[in-house]
Structure 1
Amino acid sequence: MNRPYLIYLVDDETNLLELLQSYLQNAGFHVKAFQSGAEVLPMLAEDKPQPHLWVLDIMLPDIDGYELLRLIRSKSDVPIIFISARDQDMDKIIGLELGSDDYLAKPFLPRELVIRAQKLLQRTYEKSVPAAAASQPHPQQFQDWVGVGPYLISEAGRMVKEGESPIELTTKEFDLILFLLRNQGRALHREQILSAIWGEDYIGSDRAVDDLVKRIRKKLPKFPLETVYGFGYRMTAS
């Protein structure tokens, strides 16, 4: 990982904040640390650039992490890792339903956060536009584009576009689209989708699947995805 990734780290525990910041910086990341929601809010203004990754604590002294997650998601699809020491299962469920990409329950080893951040950043950014093509007028020259209705999907580029316009997707939104594409025509149970997208160790409500589908339908209204009532979802023939 040789890109200068920028991470915004939010936690009100000073010692933990400094420890996590040190580990992330030693791993080669640029890190900006915040101790409250009030410090974060100015960074969500329209004219402020977004980081490559947010690491966001739920328990903050003023604005809780849930509200910050909603505000971040209303502005961008940048990856988010949620961390919490409260009711861990419930926090994980709510965080994923609101659009976080990963979750860490306190206490955790700082090295685990570094590894998860590296993997999430690699999945999100390093399979996109090849560096050699970044300066070309048409950088998305992948060989695996698949047409689905008005959309073009590239697994290698982890991109979806309509015409020449790319559609911004979160990691899990793209993962679900890819899973549906690989299983086109099959009725997929919510539990199958949970296991494929969140992992077999996921513990929580299948409402996370419904919320993810809702976001995909909003961004790709012509994507051929139908509800199999009482069961799950199916991608129909495009």
Structure 2
Amino acid sequence: MYTIYLVEDEISLNQLIYSYMLREGWNVVSFTDGEEAKSAIGDKPHLWILDIMLPGMDGYQLIREIRKIDEAIPVIFISARDSDLDRINGLELGSDDYLAKPFQTRELIIRVRKLMERVYGKTIHTPLIVPPLGQLEYSPYTIDRQARIVREISGQEIELTSKEFDLLLYMVSYAGQVVQRERILDEVWGRDYFGSDRVVDDLIWRLRKKMPELRLETLYGLGYRLVRR
């Protein structure tokens, strides 16, 4: 399990990034003060995420202290200061990436994942459980995986977009299990998707509208679950 040290003094953003990274299965330690973070440099986490403007000690000073201990630990700067000079200063001091605020949290997650894979090697992900080709039954619907068609019990075909069908198959594959929104994004949209995670909510809503007998539950704060038939 990767250990990430996050240094961000804006409490709401700190908590948001922290929660997203926990969902990725990473061990996260957060700080809101540069001096406090300095005392933990010797822990040698797998990655540092540093804001530049920090109380006590700014991000530039902090990365200098980090590099005294270890020149190889990856560092990502996040900052509201989006100037070329700040980016260049960050790179010269040994940062591996720079992300200007405001940013989408998922973009940061993707950048972290890519950087970790580059430095430490590919991580192992559990493959999607896909049923064999053919027809699946989810009463009162019949799902033809090969033809990518869904029919009601009457034989009436339900028109789904390609992405709606992909999401339906995914949820059927994990029927009875709670699936997080972020995991759905990774598996259905792809791990390089940079858009809003609200596309999942929109697609879920469209599926419910087209397939009202689909028992697709929202578990607030957790994700979605398709009730087994």
Scaled by the length of structure 1, the TM-score of the pair is: 0.49
1:29 to 19, 26, 51: 26
Matched, 1:49 2:18: no
Alignment coverage as a number of residue pairs? 121
Q: CA deviation at 1:88?
A: 2.7
Residue matched to 2:192: none
Runs of 4+ in structure 1 over 6 Å off: none
Residue matched to 1:84: 79
Q: CA deviation at 1:90?
A: 1.6
Call closer, same or farther: CA 1:114–1:43 in 2, change over 3 Å: same
SS of 1:116's partner is helix
Gaps of 5+ in 1: 128-238
Matched letter for residue 5 of structure 1: Y
User: Percent identity at matched positions?
Assistant: 56
Matched letter for residue 68 of structure 1: L
Residue matched to 1:117: 112
Q: Distance in 2 between matches of 1:38 and 1:67?
A: 10
Matched letter for residue 80 of structure 2: A
Matched letter for residue 84 of structure 1: S
SS of 1:122's partner is helix
Q: CA deviation at 1:22?
A: 0.5
Deviations 1:160-179 (A, max 9, x none): xxxxxxxxxxxxxxxxxxxx
Residue matched to 1:98: 93
Gaps of 5+ in 2: 123-229
Q: Distance in 2 between matches of 1:101 and 1:91?
A: 13
Residue matched to 1:59: 53
SS of 2:39's partner is helix
Matched letter for residue 103 of structure 1: Y
Scaled by the length of structure 2, the TM-score of the pair is: 0.51
Q: Distance in 2 between matches of 1:55 and 1:87?
A: 16
Residue matched to 1:20: 17
Q: Distance in 1 between matches of 2:15 and 2:40?
A: 20
Q: Distance in 2 between matches of 1:74 and 1:41?
A: 11
Coordinate RMSD, CA, aligned: 1.1
Matched letter for residue 57 of structure 1: D
Higher RCO, Cα 8 Å, sep 6+: 1
Q: Distance in 2 between matches of 1:5 and 1:54?
A: 11
For 1:89-238, what aligned pairs fall within 5 Å after superposition? Answer: 89-126=84-121
Q: CA deviation at 1:91?
A: 1.1
Deviations 1:78-109 (A, max 9, x none): 00001110243221110001100001000000
Matched letter for residue 71 of structure 1: E
Q: Which has the larger radius of gyration?
A: 2
